[in-house]
Amino acid sequence: MSGERKVYVIDDDAAMRDSLNFLLEAAGFEVTMFDTATKFLNVLPRLDFGCVVSDVRMPGIDGIELLKRMKALTSRFPIVIITGHGDVPLAVEAMKLGAVDFLEKPFEDDRLIAMIDAAIRQGDSAARDQAVTRDLAARIASLSPRERQVMDGLIAGLSNKLIARDYDISPRTIEVYRANVMTKMQANSLSELVRLAMRGGLLKD
């Protein structure tokens, strides 16, 4: 389960990193530490989905700038911001930039763990949906123009014979195109093809 519960901690304070590492690993998370936001951003494209826990005040790229850059990258990683007592206005700004929540130091361990758990559940669902949508778009794009015409006919409820008549080709040829469509769309049945077309925005529900 730990492989599905990744946390990336960004904090320039070594003692804070050690404390968070101990706490989060004990709670079953797979933790990776970064002492600067720059190092995190450099490897972000290669990281598996997880929750980011970042201090707001850091040298170089601070928590606010980190949020701005991740927003520009359309990153789906949820971010929890850790703040000091005087940083509440900054924390509010962080929320406006997309942080899922913020914690004031000193904070309760259980609250941080619950916050990360909730962020991973919500964010992972969104990330999975986005990945499915991208995959589906790639399947649709792989269809030839004729295969796309045949699929449009199929999801409109037309028989092979009617589709063949519309495009002045033989029903036998339509069967070949239909088989290609089902293979490329990874659909095992016509009903599944219709569901995929709806998910891909080709057919309104």
Residues whose CB falls within 8 Å of the CB of residue 205, separated by 6 or more in sequence, listed in order: 198
d(CA 32, CA 7): 6
pLDDT score for 2 = 38
pLDDT score for 80 = 92
Same domain for 111 and 175? no
- Read off the tokens for 156: 């409109």
The verdict on residue 80 lying in a domain is yes
55: part of which helix (H) or strand (E)?
Answer: strand 51-55
pLDDT score for 122 = 79
Same domain for 52 and 152? no
d(CA 134, CA 45): 16
- Read off the tokens for 142: 């792989």
Domain around 33 = 2-129
Low-confidence ranges of the chain (pLDDT < 70): 1-4, 85-86, 123-129, 203-205
Residues whose CB falls within 8 Å of the CB of residue 181, separated by 6 or more in sequence, listed in order: 143, 147, 150, 151, 154, 187, 193
The verdict on residue 112 lying in a domain is yes
Last residue of a domain, one of 89, 107, 129: 129
